[in-house]
Amino acid sequence: MFEENENLPKKFPCPLCGELKRLQKSKKDKPYYYCDYCGVQVFIRGKLGIQKLSNLNNSGVIDSISKNDPKLIFELIQIESKIEFMKSKINKLEEKSWETDLIDSETKLLIQLKESLIELEFEFSEKIKNL
């Protein structure tokens, strides 16, 4: 089992059945879990994945969802990934706009991305608030 100071959750839901499974350490000290019901084994190997898992745990989202609907964690992770992707695209377009004038289609895309980002951030915050 993980040490307390590692800030990782003790349990995480199976992506297929939603049953909470105990997080374990692999031989290389990476978190993983196994669902004996579904036969699914998930390894979190990269630093970014481990950091995201830790951030979810620190935010209290995992504990809140675990009590309600464990599969909701995956929905929130997807929304958060879309938000990060949109922010990246917006930053690239804004950086380009400082160097050269954007063409009309890029300007429209930038506006659409910003609007979609606002909607996704609102959806994410509403889901967290309703836990």
Structure confidence by residue, pLDDT tens digits, 32-66: 999 999 999 999 988 988 888 888 888 777 777 76
pLDDT for 39:
93
Domain segments of the chain as ranges: 4-60, 73-129
Q: In this structure, which amino acid lies at residue 26?
A: S
Partner residues linked to 42 by β-bridges: 33
Rounded Cα distance, 95 and 110, in Å: 11
pLDDT for 36:
93
> Does residue 3 carry a pLDDT above 60?
no
- Determine contact, residues 117/86, Cβ cutoff 8 Å: yes
Q: Which residue has the tokens 């993983």?
A: 32
pLDDT for 5:
42
Whole-structure pTM value: 0.63
Please give the average per-residue pLDDT across 98-105, as a whole number: 79
Q: Say which residues have a Cβ less than 8 Å from residue 89's Cβ, sequence separation at least 6.
A: 113
- Determine contact, residues 131/61, Cβ cutoff 8 Å: yes
